């Protein structure tokens, strides 16, 4: 599975593709220079249960670490994953 991040102005997203088919998307906004807000996650029905959402989140977490950003997970899915996993707490905006 290929996952890439794209940004334009104050918005960004991570998109997952498998054999040229969109598997999932996680969007975020950039309200400030030190944090981002994850606001939406969607996974294509054909890819549900395969960890696509979690892979998208980890891609954004890696990007946040590289850019020294914090993440505010307003999306219910991203928020639930942040509550479950200790290894990504370092980028959680308090």
**For 22-80, what is each residue's pLDDT tens digit?**
999 999 999 988 999 999 999 999 999 999 999 999 999 999 999 999 999 999 999 99
Structure tokens at 75: 């999306």
CB distance 41 to 24 below 8 Å: yes
Structure tokens at 63: 């990007």
Per-residue confidence (pLDDT) for residue 75, from 0 to 100: 98
Instruction: Identify the CATH number of the domain in which residue 78 sits.
Output: 3.40.630.30
SS3 content of the chain, % helix, strand, coil (to 5): 35, 40, 25
Per-residue confidence (pLDDT) for residue 24, from 0 to 100: 98
CB distance 35 to 70 below 8 Å: yes
Total structural domains within the chain? 1
Structure tokens at 1: 């599975």
Q: 14 lies in which domain range? A: 2-91
Per-residue confidence (pLDDT) for residue 19, from 0 to 100: 93
Per-residue confidence (pLDDT) for residue 68, from 0 to 100: 96
């Amino acid at each position: 599975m290929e996952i890439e991040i794209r940004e334009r102005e104050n918005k960004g997203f991570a998109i997952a593709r498998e054999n040229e088919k969109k598997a999932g998307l996680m969007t975020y906004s950039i309200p400030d220079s030190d944090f981002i807000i994850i606001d939406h996650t969607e996974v294509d029905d054909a890819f549900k249960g395969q960890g696509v959402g979690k892979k998208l989140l980890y891609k954004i977490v890696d990007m946040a670490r590289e850019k020294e950003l914090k993440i505010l997970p307003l999306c219910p899915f991203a928020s639930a994953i942040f509550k479950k996993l200790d290894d990504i707490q370092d980028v959680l905006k308090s």
